[in-house]
Chains A and B, each alone.
Chain A
Amino acid sequence: MWLTVAVAWVSMFYAIAKSREFVVIVGASLAQSLPPEAEYRITRVENLQELPIVRTGGRFHKAGNRQRIEWQQAGQRVVVEWAVVRGKGLLIHPSGESILVRVVESKRVPQQGMTFHMRRMIYPLGYYLILRDSGGETLGVWELLWHT
Chain B
Amino acid sequence: VALVMHFTLTRALSGEFAYWCTVLLVVSAGMMSAPTLFSPPLVVHLLILVPVWLFGAWFSLLSPWFPSFGIFGFFPWVGAFLLYLCSLIVAGIVWDWARRRGRA
Contact = CB atoms under 8 A, between A and B. Distances in A.
B19 A19 contact: no
Contacts, number: 108
A8 B68 contact: no
A128 B67 contact: yes
Contact of B8 (A2, A12, A26, A126): A26
Determine which residue in A24, A34, A121 has the highest number of CB atoms from chain B within 10 A of its CB, and name it: A121
B66 A30 contact: yes
How many chain B residues sit at the interface, stated as a range, is 20 to 34
Contact of B65 (A2, A11, A126): A126
Given A8-B52, A22-B5, A30 B62 contact: no
Given A23-B63, A120-B67, A28 B6 contact: no
A29 B14 contact: yes
A29 B51 contact: no
A142 to B, nearest CB: 13
Interface string B1-19: 1100110110000111011
Contact of B9 (A12, A18, A119): A18
B68 A120 contact: yes
Given A5-B48, A8-B51, A12-B52, A33 B16 contact: yes
